[in-house]
Copies of this chain bind each other. A is one copy, B any other.
Amino acid sequence: MAKYLSVHKKYIGNMNKRNVLNCIRENQPINRSAIAQMVGLSTPAVMAITEELLKMKIICSAGKGGSGVGKHPELLSVRGDHFRYIGVDVGRVNSRVVITGQDGEILASSKCPTKGIEEPLHYLDSLSEQIKRTIKQTDIDWETIVGVCVAMPGLIEEETGTVIFSPDFGWKDIPLQKLMQERLEPLQVMVENANRAQARWETRPERKNKESTIFCIGLGYGIGSAIISNGELYYGSSGTSGEIGHIIVNPNGAVCLCGNNGCLEAVASGRAIAEQARQIVKFGHDTILCRLCGGDIESITAKMVFEAAALQDEVAIKLIDQAAKYIGVALATAINMLDPDTIYLCGGMMKNGDDFLERIKKYTRERQMHLAGRHVVICRGSRNDLNVACGATLMIQDLGWKFEALSFLY
């Protein structure tokens, strides 16, 4: 399965320098003649390029290599302290920014409630300010920032970074990449689907397993997913694969924000659970939720419903059980169709106890075809709040070395 990121193709420029740099990054520490062999250049050509990179402090000496008698050539490494990556998680509840270094270490992060999305331009103004404030928290030089990856839920056009449609945000045809680029000049901006950024993060130890299919599902305010196939993100022919939140789990079910009805997201997302809880409380049912929300019914969140369920509140347990049932139907569908190796369940709804996970597993097993998907493992993704943003920084790393983000170096 194909259609890997084709974004930024136009930026391919000084291939030799970039190939040498990539080769060092991927094989460090490495000597010059090995580089020459791997990238298909002459040793003198590699010597000239590495000389330049050393002068620019992008790479450094890493001692002498080899063993036995004879010459021990100098080894080269990329300077771990040079590059910075910015990942932005535009969640429906919170907007998070993270800045990482070469080895993925977090140098700074910030979190703001996501507000004012009805006016995309104003929201993007405040998001840009948040990013700039986060950069200021550190003493890093803007020149060292390879790029910014903005991850958000919805359908993204790969080539332009335009938000084609995001039901959760009510956005259609917003040229997000262009708008953020204008606000963050001269930084390079890319836009990705949040579930793909999450999947990139969740599967980082497994990317070496080229023979596996991994399904990474985000259960939060909305529901989405990403597919990792043979170690690469799978996009699909229109770049819109993974929309498990909008598969129909009940053809006569509730109307969804996407305009369709019976979607998984309409009956089992954090938004749907909170909405159902509000309705029930309004009808005067006896539930701990009345107390938890302090009388302000509109303030009820999915998080409160999970808290109430943990306190054995029957209404809350029913709501959560119903959501787990529908999620089980959707996972059974994914298993019957794709028979993946692993399904990671991530997102806000998975930050609660094991009860919800166990219910989902039980209903999935009940609804998947008898004896199909026998080897599928269903497990929880990591619960760190910064996963999506960190995944976004990895996507910059994947791309940044190859493209214009490095053009200031040449």
A-side interface residues toward B, CB under 8 Å? 1-3, 155, 164-165, 210-213, 225, 227, 229-230, 234-244, 246-251, 258-260, 263, 325-326, 329, 332-334, 336-341, 367, 369-376
Contact = CB atoms under 8 A, between A and B. Distances in A.
B337 A239 contact: no
Contacts of A338: 227, 236, 241, 337-338
A1 B248 contact: no
A145 B405 CA distance: 59
B247 A250 contact: no
B372 A240 contact: yes
Contacts of A259: 370
A230 B329 contact: no
A165 B371 contact: yes
Contact of A333 (B165, B227, B242, B248): B248
A241 to B, nearest CB: 4
User: How many copies of this chain does the complex contain?
Assistant: 2
B240 A339 contact: yes
A236 B333 contact: no
Given A248-B367, A370-B258, A375 B237 contact: yes
A23 B72 CA distance: 42
Contact of A332 (B227, B239, B248): B248
B230 A1 contact: yes
Contacts of A334: 337
A1 B227 CA distance: 10
A212 B237 contact: yes
Residue among A243, A259, A333, A339 having the largest count of chain B Cβ atoms under 10 Å: A339
A83 B246 CA distance: 49
A156 to B, nearest CB: 11
Given A246-B372, A247-B333, A247-B337, 15 more contacts: A2-B212, A2-B213, A155-B369, A164-B371, A225-B337, A237-B339, A237-B340, A238-B339, A238-B374, A243-B337, A246-B369, A250-B250, A251-B325, A251-B329, A333-B333
Nearest to A336: B243
A399 to B, nearest CB: 19
A383 to B, nearest CB: 25
B248 A236 contact: no
A329 B210 CA distance: 32
Contacts of A263: 369
B333 A260 contact: no
26 contacts: A1-B213, A2-B210, A2-B213, A2-B230, A164-B371, A165-B370, A213-B236, A236-B339, A238-B339, A238-B374, A238-B376, A240-B336, A240-B339, A240-B371, A240-B372, A240-B373, A240-B374, A243-B369, A247-B333, A247-B337, A249-B251, A251-B325, A251-B329, A259-B370, A337-B338, A338-B338
B339 A375 contact: no
A369 B240 contact: yes
B247 A248 contact: no
Contacts of A212: 2, 237
Nearest to A265: B369
Nearest to A4: B211
Nearest to A211: B2
B1 A229 contact: yes
A337 B248 CA distance: 11
B376 A336 contact: no
A239 B335 CA distance: 11
Contacts of A371: 155, 164-165, 240
A259 B366 CA distance: 10
Residue among A164, A213, A230, A332 having the largest count of chain B Cβ atoms under 10 Å: A213
